């Protein structure tokens, strides 16, 4: 039986986002494989975490590229990004919470991706599409949080996978979009 490495990593991301101290046994169980199989693919916890980080950065970067966030109005760019990020939300949630696992370390790859997203909100502020009383960095953090919460809600069966995209986009845009009164 072959093991889908990316699927194992996605299952690990989903679990570790909610339980950073999960054991390798718990991670293997969440992925539907034995601990021995998990260890054949990842020499230990650090190797697993590094692989998660690598996959998460690659997939989030691909979502930013596919959403073409540098083009068009910011609300539409955000909707495209949420659509392209929906399936990668557990990995993104892991990336935004991995500071629990790597104390004091900051990943330069993450910084570049975060700067792109923060730049999208800054562009929206400059164009009058996004509130200026909220920092662009806070708006980016809000999106990360909503994507993570959406991924967990789908995982737990609280919302349908096809509803997540709309719910995340509309809640975010309802909060960050600049109204005529502001």
Q: What is the pLDDT of residue 136?
A: 97
Q: What is the pLDDT of residue 80?
A: 96
Instruction: Report the candidate in 127, 102, 128, 99 with the shortest Cα–Cα distance to residue 114.
Output: 99
Is the pLDDT score of 102 beyond 90? Answer: no
Q: What is the pLDDT of residue 105?
A: 54
Is the pLDDT score of 74 beyond 80? Answer: yes
Question: Span 5-176: which CATH code?
Answer: 1.10.357.10
Q: Of the given ranges (92-96, 101-105, 121-125), which has the lowest mean pLDDT? A: 101-105
Q: What is the pLDDT of residue 121?
A: 97
Q: How far apart are CA 178 and CA 105, in angstroms?
A: 35
Q: pTM to 2 decimals? A: 0.84
Cβ-proximal residues to 127 (8 Å cutoff; 6+ apart), any chain = 73, 74
Average pLDDT over residues 13-22: 87
Give the angle subtended at the CA of 17 by the CAs of 78 and 173, to the nearest 5°.
20
Give the chain's end-to-end CA distance (angstroms, integer): 58
Give the C-alpha distances (Å, rounded to integers) separating 74 from 65, 71, 83, 100.
15, 8, 14, 31
Mean pLDDT for the chain overall: 88
Q: What is the pLDDT of residue 129?
A: 94
Is the pLDDT score of 25 beyond 90? Answer: yes
In angstroms, how far is CA 48 from the centroid of its own chain?
17
In angstroms, how far is CA 174 from the centroid of its own chain?
20
Instruction: Report the candidate in 6, 28, 30 with the shortest Cα–Cα distance to residue 88.
Output: 6
Question: Rounded to 10 degrees, what is the CA torsion of 26, 92, 148, 131?
Answer: 160
Is the pLDDT score of 8 beyond 70? Answer: yes
Q: Which pLDDT band holds residue 111 (cuts at 50, 70, 90)?
A: confident
pLDDT single digits (tens) 141-172? 999 999 988 988 988 899 998 899 999 999 99
The proportion of the chain whose per-residue pLDDT surpasses 70, expressed as a percent, equals 92
Question: Rounded to 10 degrees, what is the CA torsion of 136, 63, 97, 131?
Answer: 20
């Amino acid at each position: 039986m072959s093991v889908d490495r990316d699927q194992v990593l996605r299952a690990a991301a989903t679990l570790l986002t909610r339980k950073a101290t999960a054991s390798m046994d718990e991670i293997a169980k969440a992925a539907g494989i034995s601990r021995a199989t998990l260890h054949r693919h990842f020499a230990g916890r650090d190797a697993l975490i590094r692989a998660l980080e690598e996959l998460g950065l690659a997939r989030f970067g691909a979502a930013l590229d596919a959403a073409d966030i540098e083009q068009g109005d910011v609300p539409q760019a955000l909707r495209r990004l949420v659509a392209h990020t929906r399936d990668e939300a557990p990995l993104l949630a892991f990336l935004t919470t991995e500071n629990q696992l790597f104390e004091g370390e900051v990943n330069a790859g993450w910084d570049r991706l975060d700067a792109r997203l923060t730049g999208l909100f800054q562009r929206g502020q400059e164009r009058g599409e996004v509130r200026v009383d909220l920092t662009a960095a806070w708006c980016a953090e809000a999106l990360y949080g909503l994507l993570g919460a959406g991924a967990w809600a789908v995982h737990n069966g609280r919302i349908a996978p096809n509803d997540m995209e709309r719910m995340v986009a509309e809640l975010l845009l309802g909060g960050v979009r600049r109204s005529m009164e502001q």
